[in-house]
Chains A and B, each alone.
Chain A
Amino acid sequence: MTANPLDLEEHLQVTPITISPSTMIEWTRPEPLSALARRCIESLQPGDYEIYDEKLRNFLEEAREVFVRSGVTGMLRAGDLIVAVYTANGDLANASAGTYLHCVTAMLPVKFVMSKYYGNPTVGVQDGDIFYANEARYGGIHNPDQMAFMPVFHGGELIAWVAALTHNPETGAIEPGGMPVTARSRHDEGMKLTPIKIGENFRIRDDMLDMMENFTSRAARMQAIDVRARITGCDRLRRRISELAADRGNDFVRGLLAKLIVEAEQATRRRISRWKDGVYRSTAFMDTIGPTSCLVRGSLAATKHGSDITFDFTGTSPENDGPYNCFPHITAAHAAVTMYAFQFHDLPVSNGALAPFTWIVPEGTVFNADPDAAISSSPMINSLTVSVVQQVFARMMFSSEDRPQVTGNICCQPCSPLVAGPNQHGVPVAELDNALLNTDGHGARQDRDGVDAYGFAYGHATRAPDTEDSELEQQFLRLYFRLRADSGGVGTFRGGTGTEAALVLWNVPFAAWAVYATSSYVPITLGVFGGYPAASAPGISVRNTDLSQKFRRGDADIPRDTIELATQRAIQGEYHFEHTNRPTRAGIEGDVIVATTGGGGGYGDPLARDPELVVQDIRDEAISEWTARTLHGVVYDPATLLVDHDATKAERAKARKERLSRGKPWAEFQAEWSTLRPAEHALTYFGSWPEGVANHPLERT
């Protein structure tokens, strides 16, 4: 609907749209159950819920498949997406999700539209409308994550909403790739669309598409196709829900969706109730804010009482002038990644599961930054959230029947190289190397090791492309892509290993590249109950190399893993050793970029690991001999890999004795520990030590 000139004065008097972080976090919980919804639930017949919940899941899977098969971005291929159905008031009823982040962040824009536009004469919500959004201030995570959403009408009544979301690695920001490491404020981050109507009467508006392509001209083709893919997935789901309403009636659909939310909340509360009440704490440290290496702390105290849990992030470091910031609902979204995959994996993917949670996220911290803050790397800073949330749940569940669900941390050190520019076929692309991003290690379990090259830190079933698949469209050649020895945290059970790759810019004269990653100095991925954290990740590159000549000659010393590359230095060129998180820079053909993903956290004391598993790890190249000897205390014949069990027993007894000799009374330990302080340069963005309170003003331009 368009305002005519006569309405202009009235139009200008419309209250400006504002949305506070506290409103946003409140919207994560289900809206109070209306009398209509209650009546609709009660009218469901025995068996209806079982049968039609399954049918709904089928609709979601169908829409997801259509979405995935028609899109472009590698993140869609990997499974970084959601297709979801909501009640008419925007509560998430169920979803097919490759990452549970979007259970929160694809829901809030729907609630925003219902709150601000539904009755608004200048916007309104009509059958056939197509909405679109990618602005974190209005519920999203960061602007690469774009969503399409549509109302579902039947018989003139709004009965539901549907949405489809995935990540596009180009937003028109100051750097290619959507997550500009050097962004200092929101104004550096490119296209940010508040929830906006981009289509009516089931047709996409060309002017809106042109606008988006214009914003994202580094990879306009990707934008053009993926907007359509999102809408196609969304519309397929809308049609199915609408058909269901035609078949069984609007109240049936309302009842089914509402019941999913109610059931999820009740089941979540039942489960929480069986864990011990108490306060569970965890801290984790980040070693970068993007352009600068420094310490940032994420701190969580989880108070569990009855069937309620309060997450209090007090003690977290202050916001900064890099892009490693976010808003509270984004932190909640990262907590949801763990919750839907571990604690409540068998319940509907509904925001009923979020009802028992209260969030305390102090203003001015990296998790509750100023609205003008750069937040495009919000998933990176929330590695802290993923880490500490996993830790507190592990402790909470340990003494319950849910212990089998306890693991060392799933790797929360995502690593993603980006290469941009015209590819070998002459088409401009700006794409992440999704092979690395999706091969993090999995956490060790109480009875077995974590899974090697498991997937994406924030996804639960994501896929990595083959080397041939990536190289066919991207302008690099992988010198190696392999499991990374010693990357998983050791323990009685080992964290799954991550991977490592060396990308050689290839078949193009030049390209821009960057790496989005964390944890070169301090691992965020922690172990549990004596298990070690994952390894940290080096940032290595070699420029102006002689690799072309070496390839042509067939030199035998071309490195095939990172240790060999870094220690033998058979490739001639300029070696750079730096933090793995690297802003965009130019490269030429033959330049080498090394990137490594993290392993998972270990579980239990490494001295308790079965020595036979330790030597099997050596055979599988999962660990080094140093690790076997030093951390596991295993004595074996290096030639045959046969374990000397008696010598191992003695070696381990000695190690335990040494541990005891290092032991101190608590007061003595605390007194000594309290005097320790990181180097001053590491504390630039930490806040005051040790409180983590802001201690200098921020200047954003």
Chain B
Amino acid sequence: MGATMDVDIGGTFTDCLVTLDDGRTAAIKTPTTKHRLAAGFMKTVQQAAAEFDLTMEELLRRTDIVRYSTTVAMNTLIQRNGPKLALISTAGHEDVLRIARAASWTDSTLSQEIRNVAQIDKPAPLVERSLVVGARERVDCFGRVVQPLDEEHFLQQLRGLVDQGVRGFVVSLLYGYLNPVHEQRIRELIETEYPEGYLGAMPIMLASEVLPKRWEYTRTNTTLLNAYLHQAMWEELAGMNDDLRAQGYERGIMMVHNTGGMAEVYHTAAVETFNGGPVAGLIGGAAVGQKLGHPNVIVGDMGGTSFDLGVVVGGSTRTYEFRPVIDQFWVDMTILQTRSIGAGGGSIAWVNTAVGDRLEVGPRGAGSLPGPAAYGLGGKEPTVTDADLVLGLIDPAGYFGGSLQLQPALAEEAIRKHVAEPLGISVVDAARRIRRIVDANMADVIARETLLRGYDPKDFVLMAFGGAGPTHCAGFGGHLGISRMYVLPTSPVFCAWGSSTMPVVHIYELSRRVELLAAGDECPLSDYAAFNDAVETLKAQALRDLQGEGYSADDVSFSLELDMKFGGQFHLHRASSPVLRLAGEDDVKAVYERFAEEYAEVFSPLNVFPRGGVEIHNFVLRSQTAPPEWDLPVHPLEGRDPAVAQTGSRLVHWEGGDAVTPVYSQALLRAGNRLTGPGIVEAPYTTVVVDPEFSLEVDEHLNFVITADGEEQS
């Protein structure tokens, strides 16, 4: 295998990890070039090549694979600069995007803001009302055509849309997922009127093809978002592809999907790339956990603006977003679950006078501009970073590799004015309280994510990354009673690194209502055709795509998940199916029992109610190639004493009192070193804080393992 290149283009930084065939690595972090993402990316490649004493061309010629995750989809949405699209719905149902299941602001609003009813607003739909037309047709809930398509009427409306300057069509009709005959006919009509060879040809996306799943609001949103992002994504990727090829790269680009795998650009839908970075981090966490013997892992990325969280249970990342939202729009895709809260270094601390002078941290943040008060870029409000600085946890001269000189006086002033004086406490006490609260907030979100799935956070290890993650992990991990926290050598570019552990994965979904157990008598399903046909349909799609990517059927494994419920319930529970095919009553029973077991684990055995009937509504087939093979590098242990790595000491205002605290350099610490808190370890892009009553040990892979005193070390 030649060199590999893993890239994560985030909103602030472009991270790149290059691994040569001889095992050497280069981790590069540069500011993201928003005007043209490829420019920033190529800069990281150039820097990596320089670290290996290679030219960029030499490096790219030796590179076998480029794996890429991005937030470009999100940026396009935020700026609302996508193409002018038309939506064709069933007549009488043209307002699906504006009705939006009523309280659509709750899909992207914090719970406290949801309560302020006077100030709520729905997200503006991506299609204007005048560009939504209704096709006269109707299919019912069994997929039967109730009313045939009125083609003449549709053609009249089509001309009206084109006259308004639309650049593409999304067709999303009621029950198109069960019977797409009208959607397909509409595409034929459009293509006949505006043939592909003409300049006026416009892309047409059918909801029944993009997401053949029940419920029109989420299906329409998904299809519309895909159409909306398609062009921008493609232009960005083509630019990157051109730049790489011009410099000698000859292979394809693999895109990280939010399903937890990756696929070639040519087999990637735009919406599948959304949130690719955090998902890559989650997969990386699972992979490291497996190597270290930890099946339960919490992956926490605390950056400047947010705290992103992912959870690995029993070595599996098989937990999906219950309500997946892209930008502000509810979609119904299978997206691996990650959580994000406004708790980063830039989160603002403020005193809420409405409720008894209560100190709050976030959710508002200072962003990177103006940023924390200590940046000296105009920020006046105190942030978590300001508190960390006042407490002595971070070095004003060494922040972000020394490229940004922090100003403690500004941090103190901001905390004094906005927190200490209103509360009548000292600046240091105010800073301590800010730190306690933000740590508790992060602990709460972790607790919720684990408890809701039926697990205790104490049974997990924590992997902390991001600029502020290692600074706070002992705080929020300690809150939860987590006994072991890791800061990895790849921490600065962990999401990029995570993509190197990913297999090629595709997920295929369709909705079919199959009654597994009948309501009342719990009679098991006896006609297996609907179940087996659904799986075979999905399998055929999977094989077609994988063969297109150069894989044979033998390279691929399949697994099936089913969205199921007890009869009458409305929310579906995703259960793993023990079989891909039903061949007898035992299989039916096995499918039910797996569902009941998983359901009871998450909710309660009290709620298991087969007498109500048991139904399958969605089939989700996952195809996957074998994951890449990799190993953690092993270093000889060099003794416990970290003295040679100590670069100095400084006064730190810990929660329990002030202490002159030794400061170490990450670069100088060796495998086997152990330091007892309090202590500080400085790294180019972060500061690792070892609170009193915690210890840090450097393991044979150069991971920092932080444990509470009394916990067993490795």
Contact = CB atoms under 8 A, between A and B. Distances in A.
A406 B570 contact: no
B356 A221 contact: no
A445 interface: yes
Contact of B604 (A70, A472, A481, A619): A70
Interface string A419-459: 00000110101000000001100100100100111111000
B634 interface: no
B641 to A, nearest CB: 37
Contacts of A204: 606
A234 to B, nearest CB: 11
A464 B611 contact: no
Most buried by A among B105, B119, B607: B607
A306 B370 CA distance: 42
A463 interface: yes
Given A451-B120, A452-B122, A266 B356 contact: yes
The 4 closest A-B pairs by CB, nearest first: A480-B92, A51-B440, A341-B117, A560-B92
B217 interface: yes
B519 A439 contact: no
Contacts of B433: 46-47
B114 A461 contact: yes
Contact of A507 (B101, B115, B141, B429): B141
Contact of B102 (A346, A462, A471, A558): A462
Contact of A477 (B140, B441, B451, B573): B140
Interface stretch (B6-14, B146-154, B691-699): B146-154
Contacts of B360: 50
A345 B121 contact: no
Interface in A458-517: 460-469, 471-473, 477-483, 499, 506-507
Interface in B386-437: 425, 429, 433, 436-437
Report, as a range, how many residues of chain A touch the other chain. Answer: 35 or more
Contacts of A462: 102-103
Nearest to B441: A54
Contacts of B120: 442, 451, 454
Nearest to B479: A51
B606 A231 contact: yes
A388 B93 CA distance: 34
Nearest to A429: B568
Interface in B37-67: none
Contacts of B515: 425
B115 A49 contact: no
Contact of B355 (A348, A425, A427, A438): A348
26 contacts: A55-B440, A57-B111, A58-B444, A70-B604, A221-B611, A224-B611, A228-B609, A229-B607, A231-B606, A263-B355, A404-B119, A405-B118, A410-B117, A448-B121, A461-B105, A464-B99, A465-B570, A466-B216, A467-B174, A469-B214, A507-B140, A507-B142, A551-B138, A554-B150, A556-B136, A620-B129
Nearest to B112: A346
A70 B440 CA distance: 29
B128 to A, nearest CB: 8
B80 interface: no
A62 interface: yes
B136 A68 contact: no
Contact of B567 (A50, A406, A427): A427
A614 to B, nearest CB: 15
A137 interface: no
Given A47-B436, A263-B355, A462-B102, A62 B452 contact: yes
Most buried by A among B117, B571, B607: B117
Report, as a range, how many residues of chain B touch the other chain. Answer: 35 or more
Interface of B: 91-96, 98-103, 105-106, 111-112, 114-122, 129-130, 134, 136, 138, 140-142, 146-150, 153, 174-175, 214-218, 322, 354-356, 358-360, 425, 429, 433, 436-437, 440-441, 444-445, 447-448, 451-452, 513, 515, 519, 566-571, 573, 603-604, 606-607, 609, 611-613
A61 interface: yes
Interface in A360-414: 404-407, 410
Contacts of A79: 103
Nearest to A426: B519
A271 B354 CA distance: 8
A372 B422 CA distance: 55
B569 A71 contact: yes
Nearest to A561: B92
A70 B448 contact: no
A252 B631 CA distance: 48
A68 B569 CA distance: 10
Given A228-B607, A345-B117, A346-B112, A483 B99 contact: yes
A442 B121 CA distance: 10
Contacts of A51: 436-437, 440
A66 B603 contact: yes
A267 interface: yes
Contacts of A61: 111, 448
B437 A50 contact: yes
Contact of B146 (A55, A424, A477): A477
Contact of B95 (A50, A58, A62, A483): A483
Given A228-B606, A481-B93, A507-B140, A551 B146 contact: yes
A482 B568 contact: no
A69 B103 contact: no
A499 to B, nearest CB: 6
B577 to A, nearest CB: 20
B563 to A, nearest CB: 12
A65 interface: yes
A407 to B, nearest CB: 5
Given A224-B611, A225-B569, A554-B150, A232 B606 contact: yes
A466 B613 contact: no
A462 B104 CA distance: 9
Contacts of A72: 568-570, 612
A13 to B, nearest CB: 38
B609 A62 contact: no
A70 B607 contact: yes
B147 A558 contact: yes
Contacts of A551: 138, 146-147
A454 B102 contact: yes
Given A62-B452, A65-B322, A480-B92, 17 more contacts: A50-B359, A54-B440, A58-B447, A66-B603, A69-B571, A348-B355, A451-B121, A451-B122, A465-B570, A467-B93, A473-B568, A477-B141, A482-B95, A482-B99, A554-B148, A556-B150, A561-B92
A694 interface: no
A222 interface: yes
A74 interface: yes
Interface string A566-606: 00000000000000000000000000000000000000000
Contacts of A621: 129
Interface in A279-302: none
Interface in A530-569: 551-552, 554, 556, 558, 560-561
Nearest to B100: A453
A225 B566 CA distance: 9
A221 B519 contact: yes
A275 interface: no
A445 B118 contact: yes
Contacts of B119: 404-405, 445
Interface in A322-347: 340-342, 345-347
B678 to A, nearest CB: 20
B115 A267 contact: no
A77 interface: yes
A481 B99 contact: yes
B99 A472 contact: no
B452 to A, nearest CB: 5
A24 to B, nearest CB: 26
Given A51-B437, A263-B356, A342-B117, A66 B215 contact: no
A70 B94 contact: no
B451 A62 contact: yes
A438 B102 contact: yes
